[in-house]
Amino acid sequence: MWMRSAAPEFHPRANTPPVPIVVEPAALHKHNHMYYRHVDLQTTGQKLSSRWFCYHNQVWQRNAVRSGRQFIKHVVPAVVKPTRILWNELIGFVFTVFTIFFGAKTVRLLIDYSKHPPADTAMPVVNLSIAIIPTLVAGWFAISSFLRARRISRS
């Protein structure tokens, strides 16, 4: 039968012999804690809330607020910049679609006008000019949105 030796065996790579580890419970809630206030409730005749006894609740709240501020300080800029870039690219895409839509109608009016010029030339010219204006405005918004997204991404 295998028997365990009384002397502890040393590991070949260890520098020291094995030592038993003793872990004591945390002293946070003990009465000898440095922030624990000893108040005799019988002498005061009052009922005190737990906030008078322990300081760790307030410390935890301060640390939570500080950690929240640090989180917001570091994470929000990292999220806002890509969001602004994506927003400007999305707006640029929408206005590009509008430009194509308005541009197709403008080209169709221009081809119809050049094939068969009507006797009354005022109305087709007005229609053509009304079609050109939204095409140019939508194209300008599309180009400026893509340029703004590029400028944000390089900053």
pLDDT in tens, 61-87: 777 888 888 889 888 888 999 999 999
* Confidence category of residue 153, pLDDT binned at 50, 70, 90: very high
- Return all residues near 54 (Cβ < 8 A) that are at least 6 apart: 29, 33, 35, 36
Q: Which of 66, 57, 15, 12 is nearest to 36 (CA)?
A: 57
- Return all residues near 127 (Cβ < 8 A) that are at least 6 apart: 109
Q: Residue 58: is its pLDDT beyond 70?
A: no
Per-residue pLDDT, 136: 96
Q: What is the rounded distance in angstroms from the CA atom of residue 68 to the CA atom of residue 71? A: 5
What pTM value is reported for the model? 0.54
CA torsion 36→38→42→48, rounded to 10°? -30
> Per-residue pLDDT tens for 28-53?
555 544 444 554 444 555 555 555 55
**Which residue is listed with tokens 């030796």?**
5
| Angle in degrees, CA 40, 44, 48, rounded to 5 | 75
- Return all residues near 124 (Cβ < 8 A) that are at least 6 apart: 109, 112, 113, 117, 118
Rg of the chain in Å (alpha carbons): 39
